[in-house]
Amino acid sequence: MIVYYYGGTFPTTRTFGGRYPKNLYAARGYIVYVIQPSGAVGYGQEFSAAHVNNWGISVADEIIDGTKKMIEILNLKRGDDRFIKPIDEHLKRNFTNIPGIFIAGASGGPKCIAETITDAQAAAIEIAAYLRKKIQHD
């Protein structure tokens, strides 16, 4: 699952392309959860003013609430710390209880930027291996 959150003031569009082409990820089988940023223009004054004086707070709340909802919908296991629980903390930190859904970055727990990058790289390697196997079997 990719949680796609664009934190600018321009609405997230349903067009093809862009820096992070969510439609291409979805076409490859990923679950792409697109969160419309509060504060985006085009949805009325109240919606566009929602981030005034609390930009970081509302952004974090939206990402966290949206991710929690998807965890609930997908029935992903969570640890006592409430983060997504890997199937093995030491050997398979990027794997969840659902094949094809991987953990990367802060979804598995708090991390510094360097750890997040390393973790994302490890997840990308596991995802590539998973997709290779899937393509070979299809």
> What digits encode the pLDDT tens for the residues 86-97?
999 888 989 999
Six-digit token string for 42? 């085009």
Which CA distances in Å does 99 have to 8, 72, 76, 96, 126? 33, 16, 11, 7, 11
Q: What's the rounded Cα separation, in Å, for the pair 3 and 64?
A: 10
Note if the pTM is more than 0.85.
no
Q: What is the pLDDT of residue 10?
A: 63
Which CA distances in Å does 39 have to 5, 60, 74, 109? 13, 13, 28, 27
The pLDDT > 70 percentage for the chain reads 85
Q: Is the pLDDT of residue 124 over 80?
A: yes
Neighbours of 101 (CB within 10 A): 18
Q: What is the pLDDT of residue 135?
A: 79
Q: What is the pLDDT of residue 7?
A: 57
CB 22 within 8 A of CB 5: no
pLDDT digits (tens, 9 = 90+) for 55-72: 667 777 887 888 888 889
Six-digit token string for 94? 């990027």
